[in-house]
A and B are shown apart, each in its own frame.
Chain A
Amino acid sequence: MSKPRSLSLPGKIGAYTILVLFSLFAIYPVLRVFSLSIRPGNRLLTKSLAIIPENATFHSYYQLFFEEPFLRWMLNSLLVSTIVAIIGVGLATTAGYAFSRYRFPGKNSAMLAIITTQMFPVSMLLLPLFIMLIKLHLYDSYLGLIIAYSATALPFTIWQMKGYYDTIPYSLEEAAMIDGASPVYTFYKIVLPLALPAIAITALFSFMTAWSEYLVAVVLIQDTALFTLPLGLKNYQASMESSWGLYSAGAIIVSLPVVILFMFLSRWLISGLTLGSVKG
Chain B
Amino acid sequence: MATVELVDVTKIYENDVVAIRNANLKINDKEFVVLVGPSGCGKSTLLRMIAGLEEISSGDLFIDGQRVNDVPPKDRDIAMVFQNYALYPHMNVYDNMAFGLKLRKFPAAEIEKRVREAGEILGISEFLNRKPKALSGGQRQRVAIGRAIVRKPKVFLFDEPLSNLDAKLRVQMRIEINRLHKRLQSTMIYVTHDQVEAMTMGDKIVVLKDGVIQQIDTPMNLYNNPRNLFVAGFIGSPAMNFLQGELISERSLNFRTRGIQISLPPETARALEKTGIKEVILGIRPENIHDVKLTSDRNLSQPIDITIDVVEPIGNEMFLYFRAGDETLCMRTSPDKIYHSGEQIQVALDMDKMYFFNPETEERIA
A interface residues (Cβ-Cβ under 8 A, vs B):
169, 171-172, 174-181, 185, 190, 193-194, 273-280
A274 to B86, CA, bound (A): 10
Residue contacts A-B, CB under 8 angstroms, 20 given: A171-B82, A171-B84, A172-B86, A174-B82, A175-B82, A175-B87, A175-B147, A178-B73, A178-B100, A180-B104, A181-B74, A181-B99, A273-B89, A274-B89, A275-B89, A276-B89, A278-B84, A278-B87, A279-B137, A280-B164
Most buried by B among A178, A181, A185, A275: A178
Nearest 4 pairs of A and B residues by beta carbon: A276-B133, A277-B89, A179-B100, A278-B84
Instruction: Please name 5 further chain A to chain B contacts, defined as beta carbons within 8 Å, in addition to the given A174-B51, A185-B103, A280-B84, sorted by A numbering.
Output: A177-B73, A178-B52, A178-B73, A194-B90, A275-B89
A181 to B134, CA, bound (A): 25
State the Cβ distance, B70 to closest chain A Cβ, in Å.
15
Chain A residue nearest to B151 in the complex (CB): A179
A193 to B79, CA, bound (A): 24
> Is B135 a contact partner of A174 (Cβ separation < 8 A)?
no
> Is A180 a contact partner of B132 (Cβ separation < 8 A)?
no
A269 to B251, CA, bound (A): 84
State the Cβ distance, B81 to closest chain A Cβ, in Å.
9
| Contact A277 to B74, CB < 8 A, known contacts A174-B53, A175-B82, A180-B100 | no
* Residues of chain B lying within 8 A (CB to CB) of residue A277: 85-89, 132-133
* Residues of chain B lying within 8 A (CB to CB) of residue A193: 90
Q: Does B78 sit at the interface, judged by CB under 8 A?
A: yes
Interface size on B, residues (CB 8 A): 32
* Residues of chain B lying within 8 A (CB to CB) of residue A276: 87, 89, 131-135, 140
A179 to B52, CA, bound (A): 12
B interface residues (Cβ-Cβ under 8 A, vs A):
51-53, 72-74, 78-80, 82-90, 99-100, 103-104, 131-135, 137, 140, 147, 151, 164
A277 to B91, CA, bound (A): 10
Of A171, A179, A273, the residue contacting B99 (CB under 8 A) is A179
A115 to B110, CA, bound (A): 51
Most buried by B among A169, A174, A181: A174
> Is B79 a contact partner of A178 (Cβ separation < 8 A)?
yes
| Contact A178 to B84, CB < 8 A, known contacts A193-B90, A277-B89, A279-B164 | no
* Residues of chain B lying within 8 A (CB to CB) of residue A177: 53, 72-74
> Is A178 a contact partner of B80 (Cβ separation < 8 A)?
yes
State the Cβ distance, A142 to closest chain B Cβ, in Å.
36
A176 to B100, CA, bound (A): 8
> Is A180 a contact partner of B103 (Cβ separation < 8 A)?
yes
Of A171, A176, A178, A185, the residue contacting B78 (CB under 8 A) is A178
> Is B103 a contact partner of A278 (Cβ separation < 8 A)?
no
> Is A194 a contact partner of B89 (Cβ separation < 8 A)?
yes
A174 to B87, CA, bound (A): 11
| Contact A279 to B80, CB < 8 A, known contacts A179-B100, A194-B90 | no
State the Cβ distance, A197 to closest chain B Cβ, in Å.
12
A194 to B135, CA, bound (A): 18
